[in-house]
Amino acid sequence: MTVITGGIGCGKSVVSQLLRVMGYSVYDCDREARRLMADDPELRDALANAFGQETFMADGSLNRTYLATRIFNDRGRLAQMNAIVHPAVARDIVRRRNAIGQDKTFFVETAIYYESGFGQLIEAQQVWCVAAPLELRISRAMARDNAPREKILERINSQMPQEEKIRLANAVIWNDETHSVIEQVNSLLGK
């Protein structure tokens, strides 16, 4: 299994989409965590017990606004939520990995592989860090999220520095509009 990581606006999703187009299976931790929080009864019960019944709307959907106000300014509550959600995601990764077969190349996209301790839950053979210059990351995230520069900088500054992720990774993919992402990915795949 290869993990694809990197900070906000670096282009992890671009690399993941390229791999999907090439026929590889890519597990998107953010998307799958949202699915599990909506569909997994055990996870839903644990979240409701930890954060209150308001965690879910009357129709059963996740109350993202409520949950965000409860966790994102409180590191303790964020850690509590991660301690509930991350093991469920890790189990789902193993299930998906087993379903596609151990002999198939499998990728996991996660922004917070290092800082969340997620690396202790899933074992990666390789970690690829997608990286880009700060100003490019800011402009991409502002356009994607329709958010002001200050909010994007807050989010960037709350994450592990890109240089640290690069240092810890086995490989770096520069998504800087100068280097060919396709060539870098092909090189890492031995093509």
pLDDT at residue number 100: 87
The H-or-E segment that residue 183 falls in is helix 181-188
- What's the full length of the chain, in residues? 191
User: Which residues does 120 contact at the CB level (< 8 Å), separation at least 6?
Assistant: none
The H-or-E segment that residue 4 falls in is strand 2-5
Q: What is the DSSP string of 69-126?
A: HHHTT-HHHHHHHHHHHHHHHHHHHHHHHHHH-TTS-EEEE-TTTTTTSGGGTS--SE
User: Which residues does 111 contact at the CB level (< 8 Å), separation at least 6?
Assistant: 5, 6, 7, 8, 12, 29, 30, 159
Cβ 153 vs Cβ 138: under 8 Å? yes
10-residue mean pLDDT profile of the chain (191 residues): values are 94 95 94 91 92 88 84 81 90 90 87 82 90 95 92 88 95 95 95 84
Give 167: exposed, middle or buried? Use CB within 10 Å, 0-12, 13-18, 19+. exposed
Listed in sequence order, the DSSP H helices in 122-161 are 134-145, 149-158
Dihedral sign for Cα atoms in the order 67, 73, 76, 82: positive
pLDDT at residue number 29: 93
pLDDT at residue number 114: 87
User: Around Cβ 183, how many Cβ atoms within 10 Å?
Assistant: 11
Helix, strand, or coil here: 173?
Answer: strand
pLDDT, tens digit, 9 for 90 and up, residues 47-78: 999 998 889 988 888 888 888 888 877 778 88
Helix, strand, or coil here: 178?
Answer: coil
Structural domains in the chain, sorted by start: 1-24+128-191 (3.40.50.300), 29-104 (3.40.50.300)
pLDDT at residue number 104: 82
